[in-house]
Amino acid sequence: MSANEKLAKWVNEVASVTQPERVAWCDGSEDENRRLIEGMVKDGTLLEMNQSKYPGCYLHRSHTTDVARTEHLTFICSKTKDDAGPTNNWMSTDEAKTRVWPLFQGAMKGRTMFVVPYLMGPAGSPYSKVGIELTDSPYVVANMRIMTRMGKAALDHLGARGDFCKGLHSLGDLSPERRFICHFPEAREIWSIGSGYGGNALLGKKCFALRIAGPMGRDEGWLAEHMLILGLEDPQGQVTYMCAAFPSACGKTNLAMLIPPEGFKSKGWKVWTVGDDISWMHYGPDGRLYAINPEAGFFGVAPGTSDQTNPNAMAAVKKNTIFTNVAVTEDMCPIWEGMEGFSLPKVTDWTGKAWPPPAAHPNSRFTAPAKQCPSVSKEFDNPQGVPISAIIFGGRRAKVAPLVYQSMNWAHGVFLGATMASETTAAATGQVGVVRRDPMAMLPFCGYNMGDYWGHWLKMGERGGDKAPKIFHVNWFRRDVNNKFLWPGFGENLRVLKWILDRVQGKGSAVETPIGSVPTGDGIDTAGLKLGAGVMDQLLAIDRQAWKEETRGIQEFFGKFGERLPAAMREQLEQLKKRLAK
Ligand code: OXD
Ligand code: MN
């Protein structure tokens, strides 16, 4: 059976269950998009923004109970519970068939079912993969057109092959009671019902590119990661590529689009953006690890984004952007907390009313084409991807973790990723210092047993040998005794990237400590930065007592994985304990 026959058969099967009024095959063209948008403006799904200031931009206000990913309703439906592991919600395939599948019965009555072919990754790349999403939400189609290479590019890539990821999505009745996001890693299939929110409904993103692609990478020998990809250009014009993983809402998009501080910019330092959220990494013909960004757009958090924190993102969202749940000014321009001009009293909040704070929903978003970002890398569409020299893991730690340190080797680097954590702050929960582990920032996105996932990481390093990237850990969020951030962050993070680059090139001064190589006091270039006396020492300090405490937390966390914890991870913990005891 050819790919198209297989596709046609599946579309018919789904249509006979969901019973849409009509089926529309999407080609991704301008014309099709214009018609879709016109329809949505007419029925109120989209509001037109100020077309002279924000041409091609629209606002969507979601249902008020459908504003974020719903992790407790997200399931891995693998053969056994153990295959999903202790960090995922598991549902058996049989249960999914009896509990979730019936919800699709007649779910699309009176609606159009769109057939959305999409390509994850550049056209012509051996590393790109095709997905097909069947959805009854035109808003999803319009977002998928920005976030992926949609339509013809995908069908061309698929050709006669039948290997596409099947994704079925219906808004259902939008009730959280009947909302499920189910992943079938063995069948490479996704069922999502009851939500129109990006992470639940744009199936190419978290569902395919992470939860399904992860097990594919395990089986095929590559990595699907929750990482930004950036190119750091030095004053000689040489560009070095790095990937970085941070938990959601830790500034990944800002780091991917960083603008260097004055003294560095004038010397020729630049950051080029390849991706802000997901990285697929494969070994290339020369034995180096190459990354592609499977996505074609940014689905970024709006609040806090401004000309101060991320001018590149602000430029990217000036046209052809879909805003979701932001506030608007009187003349229908998007606005949110932290954005220039926000103090205007006359804004309308994300629900369409006068604004009691917050005006924009804290998880309000922009969906913008990556090509509109001034810092987009010229390698963005390179089918081979970019060669990765450094992998960076980052947590949000008020204490314990220094500003930056380098792992001793790959296995130790995997340990740093596996033990990544954030501490809650008073503002977030009322409880200070509660440690939440988020290995490789993949806690909500790893589609199989996390212990097996670490095992896969270890294998990938063995395969790379000397050519594998160097692994680092950063922490922009260390606080002083008065709970004030010690490090200014944002553009100044370039100074840390520069030390990482130095280390990759065999330069950069460091001291060996029990936790890894930490920069010497003068290792980080602080020229032009006004840091208080002793602040750099505090940023780089290792508190043995706190680290001993940390090893107890890690031991407890590792205990959850039982037999599935790779021996090398247990070994790393034992070695760390020994080094701390010396
Ligand atoms: C995202 C997330 O939306 O990580 O990218 O939550
Ligand atoms: Mn993310």
d(CA 444, ligand 1 centre) in Å: 10
Bridge partners, residue 223, by sequence: 281
Give catalytic status of residue 250 as yes or no.
yes
Compute the distance between CA of residue 87 and CA of residue 76 in angstroms, rounded to an integer. Answer: 10
Catalytic residue among 182, 250, 333, 373: 250
Compute the distance between CA of residue 239 and CA of residue 237 in angstroms, rounded to an integer. Answer: 6
Q: What is the pLDDT of residue 429?
A: 45
Q: The domain 5-48+65-220: what is its CATH number?
A: 3.40.449.10
d(CA 484, ligand 2 centre) in Å: 26
Take atom 3 of ligand 1 and give the residue whose Cα is closest.
199
**Per-residue pLDDT tens for 476-517?**
999 999 989 999 999 999 999 999 999 999 999 999 999 999
Residue 241, CB half-sphere, CA atoms under 13 Å: how many? Answer: 23
Q: Is 198 exposed, middle or buried (0-12, 13-18, 19+ CB in 10 A)?
A: buried
Topology of domain 225-295+380-581, per CATH? Phosphoenolpyruvate Carboxykinase; domain 3 (3.90.228)
Compute the distance between CA of residue 516 and CA of residue 247 in angstroms, rounded to an integer. Answer: 22
Q: What is the pLDDT of residue 344?
A: 77
Q: What is the pLDDT of residue 432?
A: 64
Supply the DSSP symbol for 107. Answer: T
User: Backbone phi, then psi, for 268, in 5-degree steps?
Assistant: 110, 5
Sequence-distant (≥ 6) Cβ neighbours of residue 315 within 8 angstroms: 372, 373, 374
Which percentage of the chain shows pLDDT scores above 70? 98
Bridge partners, residue 112, by sequence: 22
Compute the distance between CA of residue 249 and CA of residue 484 in angstroms, rounded to an integer. Answer: 19
As a whole number of Å, the CA-based R_g of the chain is 23
Q: Which residue, chain included where needed, has tokens 């247990």?
A: 570
Q: What is the pLDDT of residue 100?
A: 98
Q: How confident is the model at residue 48 (pLDDT cuts 50, 70, 90)?
A: very high
d(CA 354, ligand 1 centre) in Å: 28
Higher pLDDT, 429 or 398: 398
Q: What is the pLDDT of residue 2?
A: 59
Ligand closest in space to the Cα of 301: 1
Ligand 1 nearest-atom number relative to CA 205: 5
Q: What is the pLDDT of residue 556?
A: 97
Statement: residue 70 has pLDDT above 50: yes
d(CA 448, ligand 1 centre) in Å: 19
d(CA 73, ligand 2 centre) in Å: 18
300 lines ligand 1 (CB under 6 A): no
Compute the distance between CA of residue 482 and CA of residue 342 in angstroms, rounded to an integer. Answer: 29
Take atom 6 of ligand 1 and give the residue whose Cα is closest.
248
Ligand closest in space to the Cα of 68: 1
**Per-residue pLDDT tens for 459-477?**
999 999 999 999 999 999 9
Ligand closest in space to the Cα of 366: 1
Take atom 4 of ligand 1 and give the residue whose Cα is closest.
248
d(CA 139, ligand 1 centre) in Å: 18
Region of 203 on the Ramachandran plot (φ > 0 left; ψ -120 to 50 alpha; else beta): alpha
Statement: residue 187 has pLDDT above 70: yes
**Number of other CB atoms surrounding residue 115 within 10 Å:** 19
32 lines ligand 1 (CB under 6 A): no
Statement: residue 418 has pLDDT above 60: yes
**Per-residue pLDDT tens for 524-553?**
999 999 999 999 999 999 999 999 999 999
249 lines ligand 1 (CB under 6 A): no
550 lines ligand 1 (CB under 6 A): no
Q: What is the pLDDT of residue 202?
A: 98
Instruction: Out of 74, 207, 250, 277, give the residue to mutate to test ligand 1, the one with the largest number of ligand atoms within 8 Å of its CB.
Output: 277
Helix (H, G, I), strand (E, B) or coil at 351: coil
* Mean pLDDT of the region 442-457: 98
Ligand 1 nearest-atom number relative to CA 247: 4
289 closest CA partner among 418, 406, 130, 413? 413
Q: Domain locations in the chain? A: 5-48+65-220, 225-295+380-581
**Per-residue pLDDT tens for 89-131?**
999 999 999 999 999 999 999 999 999 999 999 999 999 999 9
Q: What is the mean pLDDT of the chain?
A: 95
Statement: residue 428 has pLDDT above 50: no
Chain-centre distance for alpha carbon 8: 32
Bridge partners, residue 292, by sequence: 280
Q: What is the pLDDT of residue 424?
A: 67
d(CA 225, ligand 2 centre) in Å: 10
Supply the DSSP symbol for 396. Answer: B
Q: What is the pLDDT of residue 1?
A: 55
Compute the distance between CA of residue 245 and CA of residue 62 in angstroms, rounded to an integer. Answer: 29
Ligand closest in space to the Cα of 225: 2
Helices first, then strands: H and E counts in the chain: 18, 28
277 lines ligand 1 (CB under 6 A): yes
248 lines ligand 1 (CB under 6 A): yes
Strands (E), 97-151: 112-120, 129-135, 149-150
**Per-residue pLDDT tens for 8-21?**
999 999 999 999 99
Statement: residue 430 has pLDDT above 70: no
**Per-residue pLDDT tens for 327-386?**
999 999 999 999 998 887 788 999 998 877 889 999 999 999 999 999 999 999 999 999
Q: What is the pLDDT of residue 249?
A: 78
468 closest CA partner among 458, 477, 476? 458
Q: How confident is the model at residue 234 (pLDDT cuts 50, 70, 90)?
A: very high
Instruction: Out of 206, 250, 420, give the residue to mutate to test ligand 1, the one with the largest number of ligand atoms within 8 Å of its CB.
Output: 206
